Chains A and B, each alone.
Chain A
Amino acid sequence: SQQGEEDPQALSIQEGENATMNCSYKTSINNLQWYRQNSGRGLVHLILIRSNEREKHSGRLRVTLDTSKKSSSLLITASRAADTASYFCATPQGGSEKLVFGKGTKLTVNP
């Protein structure tokens, strides 16, 4: 079953601008993860935020988590052409190791 749903499905911005992607999920979670997938490649883990955290930073990435709204956002600041990729949120299913991925946001950063 689909747990995370990203919004928007596609986003096109200019280099230097900020990009914000959102993820909504349905059930209680103990963590939420964001992954990046470059065209033709496997997914790469970006950041994990736990349910007791509200915000987390990693370089130009900022992730927020609102468990009351069952939503998360990923902000990429000062975007670069190399940030062009699809971004997925993923949440554990139940108490298992299974991660359920959304369908992703396709980000295009134009030089």
Chain B
Amino acid sequence: DAGVIQSPRHEVTEMGQEVTLRCKPISGHNSLFWYRQTMMRGLELLIYFNNNVPIDDSGMPEDRFSAKMPNASFSTLKIQPSEPRDSAVYFCASSLYQGDNEQFFGPGTRLTVL
């Protein structure tokens, strides 16, 4: 089992550029979560999907952020345009929701916006 796969692992970009983060959940899992982690704010849930449908995007900071899940094995988180305050580690997690919801995290993407 490969676990949750995220790419890229590190991204350095300049302010104003578009950034796309990618995630492949564990096969068979029906829920996918995008988190952002910073020293100041800790781990924040941005959005989550169940069966490829966005269920709660209340954590998405603003319209510059968007997420898609076109199929059960792939999701993207896009930031356009990026700003320095978006610098953080972005995690993707997946779970097989059956009442209890243990989540399996990917290794994260460290984003630096200059």
Residues of A within 8 A of B (CB): 31, 33, 41-45, 48, 50, 88, 92, 96-104
A-B contact pairs, 7 of them (CB 8 A): A42-B4, A43-B103, A45-B103, A45-B104, A48-B102, A50-B100, A97-B50
- How many angstroms from the CA of A41 to the CA of B108 in the assembled complex? 7
Contact-residue size bin, chain B (C-beta under 8 Å from the other chain) = 20 to 34
Residues of B within 8 A of A (CB): 4, 31, 33, 42-43, 45, 48, 50, 55-56, 91, 93, 95, 97, 100-108
Contact A99 B108, CB 8 Å, known A42-B4, A43-B91: no
A99 CB contact (under 8 Å) in B50, B55, B91, B101:
B101
Chain A residues contacting B104 (CB-CB under 8 Å) are: 45
Q: Are B42 and A98 in contact (CB under 8 A)?
A: no
Q: Are B48 and A98 in contact (CB under 8 A)?
A: yes
Chain A residues contacting B107 (CB-CB under 8 Å) are: 41-42
- How many angstroms from the CA of A50 to the CA of B31 in the assembled complex? 21
Q: Are A43 and B100 in contact (CB under 8 A)?
A: no
- How many angstroms from the CA of A101 to the CA of B107 in the assembled complex? 17
Contact A103 B105, CB 8 Å, known A97-B31, A97-B97, A98-B48: no
Q: Shortest Cβ distance from B98 into chain A, in angstroms?
A: 10
